[in-house]
Amino acid sequence: MAPPSRPGPAPGPAPSAPGPVPEFTANPGYGRFEPSRDAELIRRVLDEVEPVSQALTSYFYALLFTRNPGVRTLFPAAMDAQRDRLFKALLTAAGLVDERRTLVEYLSHLSRGHRKYGTRPEHYPAVGECLIDALARYAPRTWGEEAEAAWVRAYTAISQIMIDAAAEDARKAPALWQAEVVSHEMRTSDIAVITVRPDQPYPFLAGQYASVETPWWPKVWRQYSLACAPRSDGLLVFHVKAVPAGWVSRALVHRARPGDVLRLGGPAGSMTVDHSSGNGLLCLGGSTGIAPIKALVEDVAGHGRARPVEVFYGARSDLDLYDLDTLREMERRLSWLSVRPVVEGPSGGIVGRLPDAVRQGGPWHAFDGYLSGPPGMIRSGVDALVGAGIPSDRIRHDSLDGLTALRG
Ligand SMILES: Cc1cc2nc3c(=O)[nH]c(=O)nc-3n(C[C@H](O)[C@H](O)[C@H](O)COP(=O)(O)OP(=O)(O)OC[C@H]3O[C@@H](n4cnc5c(N)ncnc54)[C@H](O)[C@@H]3O)c2cc1C
Ligand code: HEM
């Protein structure tokens, strides 16, 4: 509950029936929203709290969990750096009040992802009250009645968008899938190819990823790309690399065995094939980033229309090119596919880094770009593709920062 000394509307709406998100200015349920003035008030507060965001985040969670002990059970046992994301996203969303289309797209995506956490409509007011109280404490200079009213209006709109998007998604899909491991194959000392059977059909597009939770780390979710296009047997394949001290990746690679049951959140991601385009596909896959690229190749093959697909497959050494044989076999079958391994050390293939190898090839202006791999590779790969004449709106990749992905 908000302290009684500060009157004002309770942050957070009542659960509502799903439906289209109304204009802020037109719907009395959201109050009389004045984007520009509200945006200015919100941004002033954001500027003030920016240097103290860590302390603010800790205080927000302390308020949330002491006032609502039941909510603590939705979160994993260890509150590590991941926890910043919820709070940062709240601030990001509030700062987007003037960009309604982006805001709705961003929040709808977030909200669909929240169904797996067990988030319910009644949690939103609880989070809103703690947000407002944390801001009031950490923004003494810019906080006041007017700023509070602007934040309450923004949070009310944010949570309504999220509640509506979750309700709409719930009419189409479950929040979670149970998926039994049916095979587990070590390809290198730290990379496993894992095949799972979901308990009900998993509707995804080639190039997308799933959130995965293991039985060993409850409530700890990580994203893994689907390494195949949808299959007639409904099985899903993941390529997982165990990273040093990695919670989920190490469990999946070194502990999971056939018969173990994972939980999956719904599919997400926008790195999918645009079948309305006749352009070629220039694909860069670094390490296990080759997994969704392989799915894209299967997807193009399944559509039966020959389009040039050029795959650059990057790894540290030849030994780390764990899926090259399968890709070579596909290359033999599919006349439009070309696969070029690129490694950093001595090799039988191209030596160097992926972006440099791509720069040396081409021309690429008749291609769309697809990138998957470590964040640094994606950043330098995008630069290389833009430099090679592919406009940024024809380059697809996924990143954890949904907003960056939306804005391209
Ligand atoms: C859209 C998307 C798709 C992804 N697809 C795949 C995939 O198909 N296959 C796959 O293996 N991974 C994939 N990842 C990465 C995956 O989600 C996890 O981040 C990764 O498995 C590490 O999780 P963890 O719990 O094991 O490590 P954490 O417990 O999160 O991290 C432990 C430590 O390892 C460090 N660390 C994290 N990642 C790496 C890394 N790559 N190399 C070195 N150190 C690291 C962290 O900074 C931390 O210090 C994908 C990520 C995204 C965002
Ligand atoms: C109101 C707007 C909200 C925003 C903008 C928001 C944003 C986020 C973001 C960005 C993440 C990081 C992981 C992901 O992308 O899924 C996250 C995680 C999470 N959120 Fe939210 N969230 C909101 C509301 C809520 C509410 C009301 C709850 C319920 C209590 C909630 C519970 C969680 C949980 C349990 C996680 C997982 C944390 C973890 O893995 O450590 N969120 N949220």
Looking at the chain, how many residues does it have?
408
**Owner of token pair 């979750």:** 166
Give Cα 301 distance to the centre of its chain.
Answer: 26
Query: Whole-angstrom Cα distance, residue 20 to residue 251?
Result: 41
- Mean local confidence (pLDDT), 314-337: 95
Q: What is the pTM of this model?
A: 0.89
User: Measured in angstroms, how far is the CA atom of residue 408 from the centroid of ligand 2?
Assistant: 23
For residue 248, which ligand has an atom nearest its CA?
A: 1
Q: What is the rounded CA–CA span in Å between residue 277 and residue 290?
A: 22
Rounded Cα distance between 398 and 282, Å, is 16
Q: Please list the helix, strand and coil fractions of the chain in percent, rounded to the nearest 5, in that order.
A: 45, 15, 40
Q: What percent of the chain has pLDDT over 90?
A: 75
- Residue 186: helix, strand or coil by DSSP? strand
Which ligand 1 atom lies nearest to the CA of residue 191? 11
CA separation for the pair 326, 88 (Å, rounded) = 41
The protein residue with its alpha carbon nearest to ligand 2, atom 32, reads 119
Amino acid at residue number 227: A
Residue 240 Cα to ligand 2 middle (Å): 25
Mean pLDDT of 16-25: 35
Cα four-point dihedral sign 6, 8, 14, 19: negative
DSSP alpha helices (H): ranges in 95-144?
Answer: 100-114, 123-138
- Banded pLDDT at 82 (limits 50, 70, 90): low
Handedness of CA 102, 355, 271, 323 (dihedral sign): negative
User: From ligand 2's centre to the CA of 190, what distance in Å?
Assistant: 31
- Write down the pLDDT at residue 94: 83
Number of alpha helices (DSSP H) and beta strands (DSSP E) in the chain: 13, 12
Pairing of strands 350-351, 337-343: parallel
HSE on the CB side for 162, CA within 13 Å?
Answer: 28
Query: CA-CA distance, 202 to 249, in Å (whole number)?
Result: 22
* Sign of the torsion angle spanned by Cα atoms 54, 56, 57, 59: positive
35: pLDDT confidence band, cut at 50, 70 and 90?
low
3-state class of 296 per DSSP? helix
pLDDT tens string 145-157: 999 999 999 999 9
Cβ burial of 404 (10 Å; 0-12, 13-18, 19+) is exposed
Show me where the domains of the chain are located: 28-170, 177-264, 280-407
Distance 47 CA to ligand 1 centre (A): 31
- Tell me if 128 sits within 8 A of 12, measured CB to CB: yes
Give tens-digit pLDDT for 168-225.
999 999 999 999 999 999 999 999 999 999 999 999 999 999 999 999 999 999 999 9
Q: What is the pLDDT of residue 80?
A: 67
Q: Are strands 221-225 and 280-286 parallel, antiparallel or unpaired?
A: unpaired
Residue 405 has pLDDT above 60, yes or no: no
Q: CATH homologous superfamily for 28-170?
A: Globins (1.10.490.10)
DSSP state of 23: P
Of ligand 1's listed atoms, the one at least distance from the Cα of 292 is 8
C-alpha to C-alpha distance for 225 and 401, rounded to whole angstroms = 16
Give the domain 177-264 fold: Elongation Factor Tu (Ef-tu); domain 3 (2.40.30)
In this structure, what is the dihedral angle of CA atoms 165, 170, 172, 173, given to the nearest 10 degrees?
120
CATH number of the 280-407 domain = 3.40.50.80
Higher pLDDT, 35 or 44: 44
Cβ atoms 88, 401 nearer than 8 A: no
Which residue has the CA at smallest separation from atom 42 of ligand 1? 243
Residues touching ligand 2 (Cβ under 6 Å) are 71, 74-76, 82-83, 85-86, 89-90, 93, 110, 113-114, 117, 119, 123-124, 127, 158-159, 162, 221
pLDDT in tens, 210-227: 999 999 999 999 999 999
Q: What is residue 28's predicted lDDT score, i.e. its pLDDT?
A: 35
Q: Is the distance from CB of 21 to CB of 105 less than 8 angstroms?
A: no
The CA R_g of the chain, rounded to the nearest whole Å, is 23
